[in-house]
Structure 1
């Protein structure tokens, strides 16, 4: 089990779903855990109380992660709380499904603002906040970049971009001691998934039938892998995209 004692981690989208479970697991393993969230103050406050019980020093920061200014302001507030961070987990994201004939400029803007531009700006800001010895970036992509289900072309494209960003920045930032990896979850029961067409019974049954391990995921299925990628146990691992989806690719 990868231990994170003494580390400080910033997790975007950390008040719900996959990000929240990574925050819980990291705090349970000794990390000081900071979360960024969108607009659900109650969920953020509840998460921080839970994290504080596990490891002191937790905090939540509301941020507009879909704009460069919002990301910059987030990291300025983080810098008022801590001198450096050891890891950034980019878990914040959005998705919706639509057939191709319904795709609009707004569809692209909705997905790419947070899933691509916001993620990239967060990595750029984190570079200046990592300690001199380097740091770890864990992007939360999606298995849709390889599985490519119909009806989600723009979301799939945004997550394919995350794969490319992960590989490119691993090459670019490796000489600075910054590792960049991605976890690509399969269909996972999160609040976002449950609000989407991906939650339809027929779709879930189809995915389960095609998955070697026979079920969809839960956030806890991903948290241990994220902590491993943050930890020193993965110190010679960068540029990797790890699909965690019960065997379905």
Structure 2
């Protein structure tokens, strides 16, 4: 249980759901974790500390470049560096399913700001630290919907397609400095927030499951193995790639 020993990992959107699951899994493997969300993720941090782990909890809006920079500086001050960034913060579970022409320009901009620019701001902020170390892992979180062209959620799907493209470009730019940038693309995962959205129920969930090779609901714990692989030395000769974890709905 020491794959992440002596590593410092930032996880955005870590207050609950999948982000909290990622944070707990990294801490269980020995990482010192820095957790951020719009509201300070104290509950996640407390759970990690209760298991003997090290956690720093911070409030941070990932669309605010200055706030993101301050968060990275706090991580370095507390733990001495940053080896891993998990760009998990995103708008999804609370979004309304609707035809794309019913999406307002303001809603489009908000989704793009959080899901795309937020990941960009965080990657940009950790870059000097990782370059100085000569090592780093940036794990962007996309979505299997980007490979499906899923309907009724155009802004979200477009944002996650942008994250995949951004991953490839970052990987090309930073590889010579020892930094790897890869992407994890989950399918529909029944997190707490997804379960609370009435849109993600009944036929939509059943049809999604029917499209999979492995015909069951996905839960946040299903993503841990791939996340740890991308964050650890196990994937040190891998960059610019997108790993889909959706039970085999998408194959590529």
Query: Is it true that 1:76 corresponds to 2:77 in the alignment?
Result: no
Partner of 1:118: 118
Partner of 2:106: 106
Tell which deviates more after alignment, 51-60 or 212-221. 51-60
TM-score (norm 1): 0.93
Q: Say which SS state the counterpart of residue 60 (structure 1) adopts.
A: strand
Q: How far did residue 83 of structure 1 move?
A: 2.1
Query: Is it true that 1:169 corresponds to 2:161 in the alignment?
Result: no
Call closer, same or farther: CA 1:197–1:49 in 2, change over 3 Å. same
Q: How far did residue 192 of structure 1 move?
A: 3.2
Find 1:67's aligned residue among 64, 70, 79. Answer: 64
Tell whether the 8 Å contact from 2:139 to 2:230 is kept in structure 1 after alignment.
yes
Tell whether the 8 Å contact from 2:30 to 2:53 is kept in structure 1 after alignment.
no
What are structure 1's unaligned runs of at least 5 residues?
Answer: none
What are structure 2's unaligned runs of at least 5 residues?
Answer: none
Tell whether the 8 Å contact from 1:14 to 1:23 is kept in structure 2 after alignment.
yes
Tell which deviates more after alignment, 112-121 or 184-193. 184-193
Q: Distance in 2 between matches of 1:192 and 1:116?
A: 20
Q: Say which SS state the counterpart of residue 129 (structure 1) adopts.
A: helix
Count of matched residue positions in the alignment of Structure 1 and Structure 2: 246
Q: Say which SS state the counterpart of residue 59 (structure 1) adopts.
A: strand
Tell which deviates more after alignment, 90-99 or 66-75. 66-75
Taking CA–CA contacts closer than 8 Å with sequence separation of 6 or more, which of the two structures ends up with the larger relative contact order?
Answer: 1
Q: How far did residue 57 of structure 1 move?
A: 2.4
Q: Say which SS state the counterpart of residue 214 (structure 1) adopts.
A: coil
Tell which deviates more after alignment, 194-203 or 183-192. 194-203
Partner of 2:214: 213
Q: Say which SS state the counterpart of residue 121 (structure 2) adopts.
A: helix
Tell whether the 8 Å contact from 1:2 to 1:227 is kept in structure 2 after alignment.
no
Query: Is it true that 1:45 corresponds to 2:19 in the alignment?
Result: no
Q: Distance in 2 between matches of 1:144 and 1:237?
A: 23
